Chains A and B, each alone.
Chain A
Amino acid sequence: MADPMRIRANMTGDKVEVKVLMSHDMETGLRKDAQGKIIPAHFIRNVTVTHAGKTVLAAQWGTSVSRNPFLHFRFRGGRPGEKVAITWLDNKGENRTDEAVIAGG
């Protein structure tokens, strides 16, 4: 099981500012190990962020998003104390969901 995401969700004015750091190797499938064997691709393909049952961001990623991916975006309609949930799903079907409580500005 992958390590938890580090999520910060803070009010800035009337918007919720979300910053996420995910723990994932994001292997491209182009690298070789010490024996010269190709390391198979292993990367997050889908990221979904929800708030109050609504998707506030949906992403599709390829192999060229950096290892331990970082994501930053903003949405309206959130209030302090409410939750933001983030889910990622990778090409091997592994997935992880973490939540954060929106902090005041």
Chain B
Amino acid sequence: MDAKRREVLKTGGGVLALAAVAGIIKPGEALAQEWNKAAFETKSVAETVKALGGSGSTLSDAIEITAPDIAENGAVVPIAVESKLPKTQAIAILIEKNPNTLSADFDIPSGTDPFVSTRVKMGETSNVYALVIADGRYFHAVKEIKVTIGGCGG
């Protein structure tokens, strides 16, 4: 997740979107997008940070995780992350005890608020990390969410 890759991703996406709008290529063909397989296969927070291009991250109180303390249904756990760090470039949601740690990774272009809200599955009670890349540096916040009924397995 270095700056260069992000630039390529941004530019590529824009060009492809334009081409799709212009009818030059069909939507399906325009969508050969990058997906960081290695990062989504990581099994720990440290591994995920590394797979996303960092060497470590600093705990920051400028990142706020909004999520329930107790999730009755692990299949649908609402999580919102807001960063007050200047030049926030990316926000990732990591669930430490899920089979794969990384849940979602959002690129935040300039002009977009450093805020995302989504819903994730949690297999069991776990720490949830919000990893933020701001001005090329890595920061995180952490919150424990207790899960009554897990939402990952059968």
B interface size (C-beta, 8 A): 49
Report Cα–Cα, A70/B79, bound state, in Å. Answer: 10
Say yes or no: A60 contacts B31, CB within 8 Å.
no
Contacts of A57 on B, CB cut-off 8 Å? Answer: 106-109, 112, 116
Q: Kindly name the residue among A15, A69, A95 whose own CB sees the greatest number of chain B CB atoms within 10 A.
A: A95
The reply to whether the CB of A8 lies closer than 8 angstroms to some CB of chain B is: no
Evaluate whether A53 and B17 lie within 8 angstroms (CB atoms) in the complex, with A66-B77, A66-B119, A93-B28 already known: yes
Contacts of A55 on B, CB cut-off 8 Å? Answer: 10, 13-14, 17, 107, 109
Closest A residue to B16 using CB positions:
A48
Say yes or no: B104 contacts A28, CB within 8 Å.
no
Evaluate whether A32 and B35 lie within 8 angstroms (CB atoms) in the complex, with A57-B108, A57-B112 already known: no
Shortest Cβ distance from residue B69 to the other chain A in the assembled complex, whole angstroms: 18
The reply to whether the CB of A103 lies closer than 8 angstroms to some CB of chain B is: no
User: Which secondary structure dominates chain A's binding surface?
Assistant: strand
Contacts of B40 on A, CB cut-off 8 Å? Answer: 60, 62-63
Closest A residue to B39 using CB positions:
A60
**Binary B-proximity of A33-44 (CB < 8 A = 1, otherwise 0):** 000000000000
Q: Taking beta carbons and an 8 Å cutoff, which residues of A are in contact with B?
A: 15, 26, 28, 30-32, 45-46, 48, 50, 53-67, 69-77, 85, 87, 89, 93, 95, 97
Q: List 16 A-B contacts (CB under 8 A).
A: A30-B99, A31-B154, A46-B33, A48-B13, A53-B17, A54-B109, A55-B14, A56-B111, A58-B9, A60-B40, A64-B95, A67-B76, A72-B116, A74-B112, A87-B27, A97-B27
Q: Taking beta carbons and an 8 Å cutoff, which residues of B are in contact with A?
A: 9-10, 13-14, 17-18, 20-21, 27-28, 31, 33-36, 39-40, 75-78, 80, 95, 98-100, 102-109, 111-113, 115-122, 151-154
